[in-house]
């Protein structure tokens, strides 16, 4: 299981470039009361959620995942998010990571959450992946 999910938690210097083909998406989302890790293997047509059970990705969803980088303009996302002051008395926890493996073999990681100004569209991107997991 460590091998399956480990790439999600490593920072990289690479970023998604315009025209890159995404072959795998790693996803970590912690909304404070619930944390989830998922891997979408677009090439194999399967996804995993918090374990090693493979779930098939329907063809229509697979096509949507193939256009994920283009639709969310990942080539415009800041590699390192901008720090944003937070309420020091807050006990909230909100964090996310998205990691993309491209056809050329590059691993491109992005993160954000509480204390950061997230890239434009990152919340919608996370929401789409969450919805896919819930509906597949």
Q: Where are the domains of the chain?
A: 2-135
Closest to 96 (Cα-Cα) out of 14, 27, 39, 22: 27
Task: Decide if pLDDT at 58 tops 80.
Answer: yes
Question: Both tokens of residue 67?
Answer: 């256009």
Q: Give the per-residue pLDDT at 27.
A: 93
Structure tokens given for 119 = 């890239």
120: Cβ–Cβ under 8 A, 6 or more apart, which residues? 73, 76, 77
Whole-prediction pTM value? Answer: 0.88
**7 alpha-carbon distance from chain centroid:** 11
Say which residues have a Cβ less than 8 Å from residue 23's Cβ, sequence separation at least 6. Answer: 41, 42, 43, 101, 102, 103
**51 pLDDT higher than 70:** yes
pLDDT in tens, 61-106: 999 999 999 999 999 988 766 666 655 555 567 889 999 999 999 9
């Amino acid at each position: 299981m460590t091998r399956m999910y480990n790439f999600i938690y490593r920072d990289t210097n690479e970023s998604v470039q315009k025209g890159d083909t995404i072959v795998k998406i790693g996803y970590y989302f912690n909304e404070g009361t619930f944390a989830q890790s998922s891997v979408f293997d677009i090439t194999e047509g399967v996804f995993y959620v918090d374990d090693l059970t493979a779930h098939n990705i329907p063809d229509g969803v697979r096509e949507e995942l193939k256009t994920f980088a283009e639709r969310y303009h990942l080539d415009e996302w800041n590699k390192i998010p901008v720090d944003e002051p937070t309420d020091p008395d807050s006990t909230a926890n909100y964090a996310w990571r998205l990691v993309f493996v491209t056809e050329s073999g590059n691993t491109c990681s992005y993160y954000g959450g509480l204390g950061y100004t997230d890239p434009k569209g990152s919340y919608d991107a996370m929401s789409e992946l969450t919805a896919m997991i819930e509906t597949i």
